[in-house]
Amino acid sequence: MSSPTSFRFARTVFSALVLSCAGFAASAQQAQVAVSAAVAGEVNFPSLDSSYLKTGSFVGPDHVRRITPGLSKDQVRLELGNPQYSEGLFGVREWDYAFNFYTGKGNEYITCQFKVKFDLVDNIYRAVSTHWKGVACESYLSPVVMAQAIPVVMAAPVPVPTTRRLTLGADGLFKFAKSGFNDLLPEGRGRLEALATQLRRDGVVLNSIIITGHTDRIGSDASNVALSQARANTVRDYLIGKGIDGKLVRAYGAGETQPVTQCAGERVTPELMACLQPNRRVDIEVAGQQ
């Protein structure tokens, strides 16, 4: 017959065996769940706050793009550095990182979590897959394509038309009261030659040349108009003879109608002639651009 002490000992041993079996069954069930999760491709990321940095680190996207299956842990470490969480360096199959990528909007950046999974291949842990927390993060690895600079073709400057007015004193241009080509004084010929040279200069585009002859008030209106027109015609013909396009040149006689000075007296005296000298002139108005 067994003693009470022997019975209590046997019950204790039996209870221990039952608990041990239960613990073993629970462990086996947990292992099965972990295997099932791995098989189903489930990826779990640690909390960002659990990183020893408490935030992400800045890394060039090129370094992350170079992480491909087959790399050893040493090769991964050379590109990304040590994992930023407490998984350890040896004997673990997952390394976790948190990276900061600039968004392209000033100094704004986004923090993305990145995981590398390893497996033991020929006694070396090699990367088998990489994972991002959030689909958008992977887009920051794409190189930013800078817009190709399009050469700007500067439009040729639009010539600005200008008008130049030149006044030649008739007394220094023609013999007194004369208007023909042979009546041009040497000084007058020199001034017309210089004007023709300027008008023929390369780069000068002529639009029109208007020549207007003027006289003083001495004499009849008809004679003054005829004289002023004849002088304007002579200047026109001289310029055309020097190569100026005749279609651009027009000549007019204004007679005494546009004086630039007024003088007292009606009797013709040297003093009156001298006073009226500015009215005896040829105006040349040149319109064009350079």
Helical pair 186-199 and 221-241, crossing angle rounded to 10 deg: 50
DSSP of 204-216, one letter per residue? -EEEEEEEEEE--
- Asked whether residue 44 carries a pLDDT value surpassing 60, the answer given is yes
| Same domain, yes or no: 184 and 264 | yes
Do 128 and 174 sit in the same domain of this protein?
A: no
| Same domain for 126 and 208 | no
Q: Are residues 201 and 101 in the same domain?
A: no
Select from 141, 172, 202 the last residue of a domain: 141
Tell me, yes or no, whether 51 lies in a domain. Answer: yes
Residue 98 to residue 85: CA distance in whole angstroms: 9
Do 176 and 241 share a domain, yes or no?
yes
- Establish if 285 belongs to a structural domain: yes
pLDDT bucket at 24, cuts 50 / 70 / 90: very low
Boundary (domain end) residue, out of 79, 112, 141: 141
Residues 100 and 133 in one domain: yes
223 lies in the same domain as 128: no
CATH number reported for the structural domain that contains residue 252 in this entry? 3.30.1330.60
User: What is the band of 240 on the pLDDT scale with cuts at 50, 70, 90?
Assistant: very high
pLDDT of residue 72 exceeding 70, the answer is: yes
Percentage of the chain exceeding pLDDT 90? 27
The phi and psi torsions of 117 (rounded to 5 degrees) equal -100, 140
For residues 195 and 284, the answer to whether their CB atoms sit within 8 Å is yes
Side chain identity at residue 210, one-letter code: I
pLDDT digits (tens, 9 = 90+) for 82-127: 888 876 556 788 999 988 888 778 888 888 899 999 998 888 889 9
The verdict on residue 147 lying in a domain is no
Domain range for 137: 43-141
The reported pLDDT for the residue numbered 241 is 92
Average pLDDT rounded to a whole number, residues 199-218: 86
Q: Say if residue 134 is in the same domain as residue 242.
A: no
Tell me the mean pLDDT in the region 143-168: 66
Q: Tell me the whole-structure pTM to 2 decimals.
A: 0.46
Domain boundary among 141, 176, 199: 141
When the pLDDT of each residue in the chain is averaged and rounded to a whole number, the result is: 79
Whether 98 and 167 share a structural domain? no
Same domain, 251 and 282: yes
Q: How many domains does the chain have?
A: 2
Q: For residues 129 and 209, state if they share a domain.
A: no
pLDDT above 80: residue 208: yes
Residues 6+ apart with CB under 8 A from 188: 168, 172, 173, 174
Q: Are 198 and 260 part of one and the same domain?
A: yes
50: in domain? yes
> Would you state the structure tokens that stand for residue 226, as one six-digit string?
């005829």
Tokens of 137: 């993060």
Of 146 and 170, the structure prediction assigns the larger pLDDT to 170
**Cα 110 from Cα 62, distance rounded (Å):** 17
Q: Residue 188 falls within a domain, yes or no?
A: yes
Task: Confirm whether 19 is domain-assigned.
Answer: no
Phi-psi region of 106 (alpha: psi -120 to 50; beta: other; left: phi over 0): left
Q: Is residue 279 part of a domain?
A: yes
9 within a domain of the structure (yes/no): no
Contacts (Cβ under 8 Å, ≥6 apart) of 98: 48, 51, 53, 55, 56, 57, 84, 111, 112, 113, 114
